Structure 1
Amino acid sequence: MTLQDEDRAPLDTAAMQRVGGALGSHPAGLYEDARGRRWYVKTVESPDHARNEWLAAQLYALAGAPTLHYRRCRAPDQVATAWQTLQHSRLSRFSEAERRQARHWLGVHAWLANWDAVGFEGDNQGVATDGTVLTLDVGGALRYRAQGDPKGEAFGTRVGEWDRLRRDPDNPHARRLFADMDAAERQAAGQVVTALPAAMIQACVLRHGGAPALAQQLLARRADLAHRLPG
């Protein structure tokens, strides 16, 4: 196997050394592979949860929204991200420039129904060593909540998250980040999503294990988001 093939192969934690424990609410660990690279691997509730998070990560990437680097795992209920050193991972420590970066991705979070975009403790946004603001975990996007419960009808064709992420008192860190966005910021954040071609959205969903119905739902959500933009 070439190094390029190895980089595409699913990770097998059974062949790796565990070097650290869980950082969040899911069973997880930090693993080191034979080349010395480190991966944070969490075990989620089911293979469907893992597929949901993988697809969410690919849709974030399609929209250009920075996240940690996701990698497939051999175990179907595992999700892996490349270990990355961060300057900080608390919204309370963000500079104003970092907050502006984070706000630019409001439209993507809303479109993908990531209720946990900022985190229960303001800990789902981080700043990489190069200054890029990242969403650290996208497990709360699409069909499942961050703790694993299905969203059911709460994930539909309307993007109520566009308002709730800015206003909901029960999501205080998201409100603290997004509430003061002016019309120009909101327009720019929404256009990140509305500018995505339908064919690219459909291809991404189908290529990464999503159902055709989900692709259509995301197109409907994109259209609904377009109607919510200022002006």
Structure 2
Amino acid sequence: MNSNELLIDTNRMVRVGGQLGSNPAGIFEESNGRRYYVKNLESEAHASNEFIAAKLYQLAGAPTLTYVHTQAKDQVATQWLALDKKHIAHFTETERKAAQQWLAVHAWTANWDAAGMDGDNQGVANGRVFTLDVGGALAFRAHGDPKGRAFGTVVDELTTLRNDPHNPYAVNLFADISDEALRESIQKVVCIPDEEIEQVILNAGGSAKLVEKMVARKGDMARRLGMNF
């Protein structure tokens, strides 16, 4: 962790709101009025995994909430953002297209929960579409179960996020993405230099093994650009 990064302590805050997602959580307020949404996760590893995922999203340019470190290493916190829309069902067509452009980032990071269990993992604030929670990306499912071999070097999520009947809200959001938009989405990932991926992961506390996997997944996506999706 960069020594200049904010480190918050929920023990010094007032809880002003409850859980919004699937993990135990709450809204906490500092004495200056600044608020955070704080999740208590299954383990320090799960919390670290989500923080790394957020950094990779940001590296690719995909809008996320602003993540901050906490004193408790099994917590994940984001700066509170008041949303204008909290569900994909309320998106305009323009907002849906804005969300679709990040399909490849969700696929690259294996975020099976990109759309949410109820279409509630995409939101709009100040005219911008955000992914609200990346806890289901990389090595863990949203509830904290390890993905194991399901998180490998082949990015099947480019297909499954568009056609898996067990993930209906993702299908609803991504199934009608055009071939051109899909290719443009993939380009957002494959243009990232390997050394930047390495730097982001290692600086966020990730392993060299994860660097190798994410570079390999990027390579798989690059190869798919020449394929018929």
Task: Name the TM-score class by shorter chain.
Answer: over 0.9
Deviation at 1:35, TM superposition (A): 1.5
Correspondence 1:1-231 to 2 at 5 A: 8-128=5-125, 130-229=126-225
CA distance in 2, matches of 1:226, 1:178: 20
Structure 1 residues 230, 99: CA separation in 2 closer, same or farther (over 3 Å shift)? farther
Amino acid at match of 1:229: L
CA RMSD of aligned residues (A): 1.4
- CA deviations 1:37-94 (Å, max 9, x no partner) are 0001010000001100000011111110001111000001000011111111111110
1:120 counterpart SS class: coil
CA distance in 2, matches of 1:156, 1:46: 22
Identity of aligned residues (%): 52
Preserved CA contact (<8 Å) 1:87 1:126: yes
Amino acid at match of 1:188: E
The ranges of structure 1 where at least 4 consecutive aligned residues each deviate by more than 6 angstroms after the TM superposition are: none
Amino acid at match of 2:149: E
- CA deviations 1:4-62 (Å, max 9, x no partner) are x9983311001111111111221111100122100010100000011000000111111
CA distance in 2, matches of 1:197, 1:161: 21
CA distance in 2, matches of 1:41, 1:108: 24
1:87 counterpart SS class: coil
Deviation at 1:229, TM superposition (A): 2.6
- CA deviations 1:165-196 (Å, max 9, x no partner) are 01111111111111111111001000000000
CA distance in 1, matches of 2:141, 2:224: 24
1:65 counterpart SS class: coil
Q: Which TM-score applies when normalising by structure 1?
A: 0.95
Bigger mean CA deviation after superposition, 22-31 or 53-62 = 22-31
CA distance in 1, matches of 2:192, 2:63: 16
Deviation at 1:157, TM superposition (A): 0.3
Amino acid at match of 2:117: F
Preserved CA contact (<8 Å) 1:124 1:136: yes
Q: Which TM-score applies when normalising by structure 2?
A: 0.96
Uncovered stretches (5+) of structure 2, i.e. residues with no partner? none
2:7 counterpart SS class: coil
Uncovered stretches (5+) of structure 1, i.e. residues with no partner? none
